[in-house]
Amino acid sequence: MVAIVAFLQKSQNQAKVPKKERNFLFHVDLDCFFAAVEIREQPSLKGLPIIVGGDKESKRGVVTTCTYEARRFGVHSGMSIVDALKLCPESICLPRGNYLLYREVSDSVMSILSTYTDEFRCASIDEAYLNLTKIINKEFNGNPIPIAEEIKKEIFEIEGITCSIGIGSNTTIAKMATSQNKPNGITYIPKEHIKEFLKPLPVRRISGIGPKSAERLQKNHGVETIGQIMKLETEYEMIRKYGSLGKFFYRIISGEGRTKLKTNDYYGAQSISKGRTFYGYLEDGEPITAEKLLPKLIDQVHERLTKKSFRFKTVTLEIKLQNSFKNINKSRSFLAANDDKERINSTVFELLEEFRNTHKDEPIRKVAVRVSNFGKKDSNQKSITDFFSEK
Which residues are the active-site residues?
127
The answer to whether residues 37 and 105 touch, using CB atoms and an 8 Å cutoff, is yes
Q: Judged by CB under 7 A, which of 35, 92, 167, 209 binds DNA?
A: 209
Q: Given the complex with DNA, which of 18 and 287 has the nearer CB atom?
A: 287
Q: Which of 16, 19, 20, 212 binds DNA (CB under 7 A)?
A: 212
Taking the complex as a whole, the smallest distance from the CB of residue 235 to DNA amounts, in Å, to 15
Closest distance between DNA and the C-beta of residue 25, in Å? 15
Rg (CA), the chain: 24
Min dist CB 83 to DNA, Å, is 5
Of 200 and 268, CB closest to DNA: 268
The DSSP call for residue 208 is T
Binder among 42, 58, 124, 234 for DNA (CB under 7 A): 124
> Does residue 368 interact with DNA by CB under 7 A?
yes
Query: Of 199 and 276, which has the nearer Cβ to DNA?
Result: 276
CB of 335 to DNA, least distance (A): 6
Smallest separation (angstroms) from DNA to the CB of 299: 12
Contact assessment for residue 194 and residue 177, using Cβ atoms and an 8 Å cutoff: no
Q: Report whether the peptide linkage leading into residue 146 is cis, meaning its omega lies within 30 degrees of zero.
A: no
The residue (of 64 and 114) whose beta carbon lies closer to DNA is 64
Give the residue ranges of DSSP H helices in the chain: 2-13, 33-41, 68-71, 81-87, 99-113, 133-139, 145-159, 171-180, 194-198, 211-221, 226-229, 235-242, 244-254, 290-307, 341-359, 384-389
Whole-angstrom distance, CA of residue 91 vs CA of residue 239? 46
Binding-site string for DNA from residue 268 to residue 297, where x marks contact by CB under 7 A and - marks none? xxxxxxxxxx--------------------
Among 143, 220, 306, 333, binds DNA (CB under 7 A): 333
241-249: list long-range contacts, CB under 8 Å, 24+ apart.
242/217, 245/209, 245/213, 245/217, 248/208
| CB burial readout 264-288, b (16+ within 10 A) else e | ebbbeeeebebbbebeeeeeeeeeb
Could you give the CA distance from residue 272 to residue 304 in angstroms, rounded to a whole number?
A: 8
Give, as ranges, the residues between 55 and 94 that touch DNA (CB under 7 A). 60-62, 64, 77-78, 80, 82-83
SS3 336: strand
251 binds DNA (CB under 7 A): no
The C-alpha angle with vertex 224 and arms to 218 and 229, in degrees rounded to 5, equals: 100
List binders of DNA among 159-198 (CB under 7 A): 175
* Binding of residue 332 to DNA (CB under 7 A): yes
Binding site for DNA (CB under 7 A): 53, 60-62, 64, 77-78, 80, 82-83, 123-127, 175, 206-214, 244, 262, 268-277, 304, 313-314, 325-333, 335, 366, 368, 370, 372-373
